[in-house]
Amino acid sequence: MASEFDLIERYFTRAAPAGLLGVGDDCALFPVPPGEQVATSTDLLLEGRHFFPDVDPKALGHKALAVNLSDLAAMGARPIGCVLGLALPRLDEPWLAAFAEGFHALAAAHGCPLIGGDTTRSAHDLAISVTVFGSVPPGQALRRDGAQAGDDIWVSGELGAADVAYRLLDGQYSADASLLAATRGALEWPQPQVALGLALRGIAHAAIDLSDGLLQDLGHILAASRAGACLHFADLPMAPALAGLDATQLRRALLGGGDVYQLCFTAPASRRDAVMAAAQAAGARATRVGQVHAQAGLSVLDERGQPLAELPAGFDHFPAT
């Protein structure tokens, strides 16, 4: 006999940290460190498009916040808090409890408490909107438009596993239980690189997260920075589980595979030691994979320095038809 208000209260109200007014008023209130700006990002996730209907709700709660924290990471912003909108096709309390558990656990790990929200009923699909807030001193945000000719291009972590897990679950690749087991965590439990983003303030010239895949996301940096780049395919940090893929699958996973939530960033060659130290301090891996140059265009070179002829397309929610 739970009403909407009981429901919100039970799963999504937490004692707000000092200085924050949490769920339960027209607005949530939060303070901002003196002199800093607010960084904010919003994502709208839909069943059947951004996640499978049968996904573990705890993983879904984690990921709904993780993709937004990854945007704060890519700006070098420190998390403050978040708000959540949930449209539910039915009232399923065990599902809600698990979703809330996954969400709150990641929120606690990153000091990003849930401070407001909106729960409603949907006619068909589950929809989840998350908006996160963080703070960054003026001029220190890692933007997309700061890449300079001569910069190294770096990526954090490993690439490709999420793409393979997605295609296995979607039936595009033939069933392979051990490959799925080795890649599924990357798809369902991405770890936003918040500490790395903070450590790269003052070092990186530009940064983005790899939500849409390396070629597409690096392309955003290059377009905003009016620059070009080359990548060295053999240097890309491949997830070890991908060793058995054929060449087409591997290119698709490493260059086109989205849903990664690692960072791609550029930094001057003179700051290579500083990048490595920042990565180490953040507990992250950073790999140098290419260079920015002044001339427009993005090429990917094979081991002999020859451009790859066929590159995978990026993901587009509204592909041209």
Residues between 31 and 90 that touch a copy of itself (CB under 8 A): 31-32, 34-35, 37-44, 46-50, 70-72, 74-75, 77, 83-87
Within 190-209, which residues bind a copy of itself (CB under 8 A)?
207-209
- Please identify, using beta-carbon distances, which residue of 224 and 230 lies nearer to a copy of itself: 224
3 binds a copy of itself (CB under 8 A): yes
Helices (H), 113-189: 161-169, 177-188
| Binding footprint of a copy of itself, residue count (CB under 8 A) | 74
Query: Looking at 162-170, 242-250, 299-307, 311-319, which segment touches a copy of itself (CB under 8 A)?
Result: 311-319
Q: How many other β-carbons are positioned within 10 Å of the β-carbon of residue 70?
A: 26
Minimum gap (Å) between residue 182 Cβ and a copy of itself: 29
Choice from 11, 12, 30, 233 touching a copy of itself (CB under 8 A) = 30
The span from the CA of 41 to the CA of 154, in Å, is 23
- 127 vs 179, which CB is nearer to a copy of itself? 127
Residue 274 burial (CB < 10 Å; 0-12/13-18/19+)? middle
Q: Give the separation between CA 254 and CA 103, rounded to whole angstroms.
A: 28
The span of 137-145, 165-173, 174-182, 238-246 binding a copy of itself (CB under 8 A) equals: 137-145
Spatial contact of 41 and 144, defined as CB atoms under 8 Å apart: no
Q: Which residues contact 231 (CB under 8 A, 6 or more apart)?
A: 153, 214, 218, 255, 289, 290, 298, 299, 300, 301
> Least CB distance from residue 130 to a copy of itself, whole Å?
9
- 224 binds a copy of itself, rule: CB under 8 A: yes
* Residues 139-158 contacting a copy of itself, CB under 8 A: 141, 143-145
> 126-145: string of b/e by CB count within 10 Å (b at 16+)?
bbbbbbbbbbbeeeebbbbe
Output the smallest distance, CB 271 to a copy of itself, in A: 21
The tokens for 240 are: 């070890």
Type of residue at 234: A
Residues 83-122 that bind a copy of itself (CB under 8 A): 83-87, 91, 115-122
Region from 23-31, 58-66, 149-157, 228-236 binding a copy of itself, contact rule CB under 8 A: 23-31
Angle at the Cα of 108 (from 107 to 112), degrees rounded to 5? 50
Cα separation, 311 vs 299, in Å, equals 9
Cβ at position 176, least distance to a copy of itself in Å: 28
User: Which residues, including other chains, have CB under 8 Å from residue 217's CB and lie 6 or more apart?
Assistant: 208, 209, 210, 211, 264
138 binds a copy of itself (CB under 8 A): yes
Between 83 and 241, CB nearer to a copy of itself: 83
Give the CA dihedral 136, 139, 140, 143, nearest 10 degrees: 100
Judged by CB, which is closer to a copy of itself: 146, or 150?
A: 146
Nearer to a copy of itself (CB atom), residue 40 or residue 299: 40
29: contact with a copy of itself by CB under 8 A: yes
Of residues 129 and 183, the one with the C-beta less far from a copy of itself = 129
